[in-house]
Amino acid sequence: MSIAPGDFVGLLGPSGSGKSTLLRCILGTVDLYSGEVVVEGRSVTQRRPRAGYVPQLETIDWNFPVTVQEVVMMGCTMDYPLFPWHRRRGKERAARIMDRLGISNLARRHIRELSGGEQQRTFLARALVSNPRLLLLDEPTTGVDIKTRDDVMHLLDELNHEGITVVMSTHEINSVAAHLPRAVCLNGRLTADGPPGEVFTTEILSRTYGAEMPVTDYEGITIVAERPHFFGRENTRRRQRHGHNVAEKRHPVGRDNRAQPHSHRHGHGE
């Protein structure tokens, strides 16, 4: 698999499929049993790449006694040794990044006091403060509400348009279909790689997830039914046998509360 400068890539697959491991391989933090990872022409075993990394929120010890500003400043350690004038530069850069991400007012707050979205923005700021050319994110939209998820995706899109290569793992298939130009499916190995409209087919998703996932197209946007066990004639009959009449579950939708499809796509080339 090759990722070109300026790409925006979503890694998808079931839990345990290798998404997080692949990100750590790119970072150069795990040993390779076979193959090679090359970033900017050099093997990661020779030199770790200049990359920003946002881990899964569930892997972080939120009771660690540290403030938002201190977390963001941790991202400066690769650039600045511990001298006062360098720390001052780091604080200035951290202040700019926090202001852009809307967390300046949280600078002195303890990280455990933050909401899920604020926590995500804090660690994204830490990843960006070193001005990386490559940004790696491990499930950045997990555990946040829909608005925060949308805000994160739009922010990543902005960063990508500014020239940062973005690679993120996620379980949000439809979010990738709406926002990203490239999807990579994994299940212990690469199962598909390409534009979401070509990759998200019932056949490929079945091979990746081991379950049949109905796929449809709505005004050019690929939509995947992510809970396949609720679909299909056999499952409908099974629900009806247990007294669940699907037709009775429908509710009228008025003009004022009709859900409007939301999509954001860009034609970023590979």
Let me know if residue 245 belongs to a domain. Answer: no
Specify whether 77 is located in the same domain as 180.
no
| Residue 270 is assigned to a structural domain of this protein | no
pLDDT for 227 equals: 61
Q: Which domain CATH number covers 214?
A: 3.40.50.300
Measure the CA–CA gap between 244 and 226, rounded to whole angstroms: 21
Specify the DSSP class assigned to residue 33.
S
Do 105 and 189 have their domain in common? no
* Nearest Cα to Cα of residue 120 among 94, 96, 102, 95: 102
The answer to whether residue 112 is domain-embedded is yes
Residue 124 shares a structural domain with residue 143: no
Domain check: are 12 and 32 in the same one? Answer: yes
Question: Which pLDDT score is estimated for 162?
Answer: 95
The confidence score (pLDDT) of residue 258 equals: 40
Category of 11 on φ-ψ map: left (φ > 0), alpha (ψ -120 to 50) or beta: beta
Residue with tokens 């046998």: 241
Residues 95 and 171 placed together within one structural domain of the fold:
no
| pLDDT the model gives residue 226 | 67
Structure letter (DSSP) for residue 110:
B
| CA torsion through residues 110, 111, 117, 118, sign | positive
Instruction: Tell me, yes or no, whether 254 lies in a domain.
Output: no
Q: What is the pLDDT of residue 32?
A: 86
For 140, the token pair is: 């950045």
Give this prediction's pTM.
0.79
Q: Is 156 left (phi over 0), alpha (psi -120 to 50) or beta?
A: alpha
Do the domain assignments include residue 163?
Answer: yes
Residue 203 burial class via C-beta count within 10 angstroms: exposed 0-12, middle 13-18, buried 19 and up? exposed
Query: Are 104 and 220 contained in the same domain?
Result: no
182 plus 86 within the same structural domain:
no
Could you tell me if 128 and 161 lie in one domain? no
On whether both 138 and 224 belong to a single domain, the answer is: yes
Residues 123 and 149 in one domain: no
For position 193, what pLDDT does the model report? 98
Question: Total domain count for the chain?
Answer: 2
Task: Give CA–CA dist 233/52, Å, rounded.
Answer: 46
- Pair 14, 188: CB distance under 8 Å: no
pLDDT of residue 18: 93
Domain end residue (candidates: 197, 213, 230):
230
Question: Which residues, 6 or more positions from 7, have their beta carbon under 8 angstroms from its beta carbon?
Answer: 165, 166, 167, 181, 182, 268, 270
Residue at a domain's end among 109, 132, 155: 132
- 257 belongs to a structural domain: no
Q: What share of the chain is helix, strand, coil (3-state, %, to 5)?
A: 40, 15, 45
Residue 86: its pLDDT value, please?
Answer: 56
Residue 269 forms part of a structural domain: no
Write out residues in the chain with pLDDT < 50, as ranges.
Answer: 83-85, 228-270
Structural domain span for residue 1: 1-50+134-230
Same domain, 105 and 75: yes
| Residue 134 neighbours by CB under 8 Å, 6+ apart | 26, 39, 49, 50, 51, 52, 164, 165, 167
185 and 91 within one domain: no
**Cα–Cα dist 67/104, whole Å:** 12
Kindly state the helix (H) or strand (E) to which residue 194 belongs, with its residue range. strand 190-194
Give the end of a domain, one of 116, 132, 148: 132
